[in-house]
A and B are shown apart, each in its own frame.
Chain A
């Protein structure tokens, strides 16, 4: 009884604690980077940005230091946070909805669609803004195609949508493979490969908005739906008997998740594993209740991706593609989780 109560207490404390840890991580990240800026200077620059009138008339920091904090690090941190939040909560929602812990946010081939749009824009030498636009359009197109294909199936429901997603994803993968094959091997091909491996190196205000709007819309709705996801995770019959429109709710969740993921891929390339592994950790901390799990996954995803991006931009003169880091670190973690869970089976408890 006491053990159970302390577990409940821990779970209640854990979710806000994740928020506090995230705040600390953000402040630390602002001080980390290849260009040396002292933490005190970072704090003064931030204060001057938040309260413009409160700072000294002549700044005590250099122009380069302000560019580093305001133009390079701040948008990048915000973008990594947003991407991590989006992927984390999307993964948690989908895993709950599908009652399958191996599901990731890229359920209906949105990532290959977005990747295809992005590499096409690189092939035609279009500017970075067009790469983002094309990638987002590619992701949405993949979603529309998968939905259209699923509707052709009689009584197919969500299973048909997932199968359609596999088909659409395979098609877009083939197209972006073909585009890479046709690309100039000395100039375009490396650009495509690096873009596909994921990076927040080109973060700016516009990209934060491009990801932020779908995240705020999609994320808010997912948060509002989180108790219904609890019901979905009981199984279709139970959920339906409790008055939940199971099919409609599943479609809605998939559309919201796909919007978030296509926006994420469009601004930062493909960042794998976050949406799949983060919900597992969040589940360990706050338990299987999606009312806590979804926000906890968002916070944990944001923190995880922020740390990965700090590594990507700070351990060398070169940007390390963040998709490689998340995969390199994500796969062993997932292997350990898999190994540990074998004894008791994949459960949500």
Chain B
């Protein structure tokens, strides 16, 4: 009786099992066949301009240029400066937009503020491929190791270099300008960069090792930790160009160091990155444990200038940074020309005439109030008055 009931129950169950497993198997097989087909890619635009990116890969960019997506760490300012074409930016990342906060680029290129929120990607490290495709970009600038998934579907992906070298600044500026259809502009900016560096070098290259002050370029983070620019960093290279030397001579690109380690390095000058949690140089110099450092006691702690793009170096700003540093390190050798040079550079390269207040902001006058010889950058001061 019970066996009969069980057999009766099993009939429909068995049919159900067979049917459903057949459906699952058929679907699985169909998906596997579909997946095994050779993948297709989006077609390259015909008659487009050819761009060679940092991987030496040739990318075809449509003409007229539909616009760029800037998906890489905060170099958005560099795109604007290298192209002077903000209207060619279709989309960017939040970190790029945030990097412009407090800078002067909004005044130079008012179009930046019009970038739609739905075209802002929080990070370049997890790009949604469908969203990138939906934006229909003419070029996607991204770091080389994040490019392959975009390459795979045939999106015009231009890998930018992220190595901290001046050559990379030039290469990126050329890529940006050429993609936006302004290759001549990059050449002009690179010539100006090299000329500015040569001018400073003429003043400091004869210095012996002992005449070159030791420096530490550090970022004070929100948790109080300290990250220092290492010997392989761009900052280290710019220090050398300005007649100084990095006090940190070994280690990785941007190590975290303890205050004790920094004390052991005993730098003559401390440079604070503009994105430090503590912005005022005097606050740092007067606060423990920094106040025991010789650099603090001599008021030689400096907040780096904001420049036009919130302290981000690059094709226009790096020569100004080097001039700023050279004037601070060797005030007797270099005439106080930076303020005028800065205004002249912005006028010449960006057709932007900064006001005196804007220059004060760019030079971080307020953030460096009370620091040795900083008065030379103020609007009225030309003398090297020690406070």
Contacts and interface: CB of A to CB of B under 8 A. Distances in A.
Interface in A30-89: 33-36, 46, 49-50, 52, 63-64, 66-68, 70-72, 74-75, 77-78
A122 B33 contact: no
Contacts of B254: 184-185
A310 B264 CA distance: 53
Interface string B95-126: 00000000000000000000000111111011
A67 B128 CA distance: 14
Contact of B35 (A19, A34, A205, A313): A205
Given A23-B27, A317-B118, A49 B33 contact: yes
Given A64-B42, A127-B148, A313-B130, A16 B125 contact: no
B310 to A, nearest CB: 14
B385 interface: no
B123 A190 contact: yes
A349 to B, nearest CB: 21
A70 B133 CA distance: 14
B162 interface: yes
B117 to A, nearest CB: 10
B127 interface: yes
Contact of B162 (A33, A187, A317): A187
B7 interface: no
Interface size class, chain A: 35 or more
A277 to B, nearest CB: 23
A186 B42 CA distance: 31
B222 interface: no
Contacts of A191: 125, 145-146
A126 B153 CA distance: 20
B149 interface: yes
Interface stretch (A5-13, A143-151, A219-227, A239-247): A5-13
Nearest to B133: A35
Contact of A128 (B120, B148, B154): B148
Interface string B138-180: 0000011110110011100000001000000000000000000
Of listed B19, B37, B40, residue having the most chain A CB within 10 A: B37
Interface residues of B, number: 56
Interface of B: 9, 13, 16-17, 19-21, 23-24, 27, 30-37, 39-43, 73-74, 118-123, 125-131, 133-134, 143-146, 148-149, 152-154, 162, 227, 252-256
A47 B32 CA distance: 13
A15 to B, nearest CB: 8
A318 B42 contact: no
Given A35-B133, A71-B152, A187 B73 contact: yes
Decide if the interface of chain B is mainly helix, strand, loop or mixed: helix
Contact of A319 (B35, B39, B73, B128): B128
A86 to B, nearest CB: 15
A66 B36 CA distance: 14
26 contacts: A16-B24, A17-B20, A19-B24, A20-B20, A23-B27, A27-B27, A33-B130, A34-B130, A34-B134, A49-B33, A50-B33, A64-B133, A67-B40, A67-B41, A71-B40, A125-B144, A128-B145, A182-B252, A184-B254, A194-B123, A194-B126, A201-B128, A205-B39, A317-B121, A318-B131, A319-B126
Contacts of A275: none
B121 A318 contact: yes
Contacts of A186: 73-74, 162
Interface in A195-213: 199, 201-202, 204-205, 208
Contacts, number: 151
A315 to B, nearest CB: 10
A316 B23 contact: no
A92 interface: no
A125 B37 CA distance: 30
Contacts of A77: 31
Interface string A127-152: 11000000000000000000000000
Given A67-B154, A184-B253, A318-B131, A201 B40 contact: no
A104 interface: no
Contact of B43 (A13, A52, A63): A63
A167 interface: no
B40 to A, nearest CB: 6
A184 B143 CA distance: 13
The 10 closest A-B pairs by CB, nearest first: A16-B20, A35-B130, A319-B126, A49-B34, A19-B24, A34-B130, A317-B131, A194-B125, A34-B131, A186-B73
A166 interface: no
A78 B133 contact: no
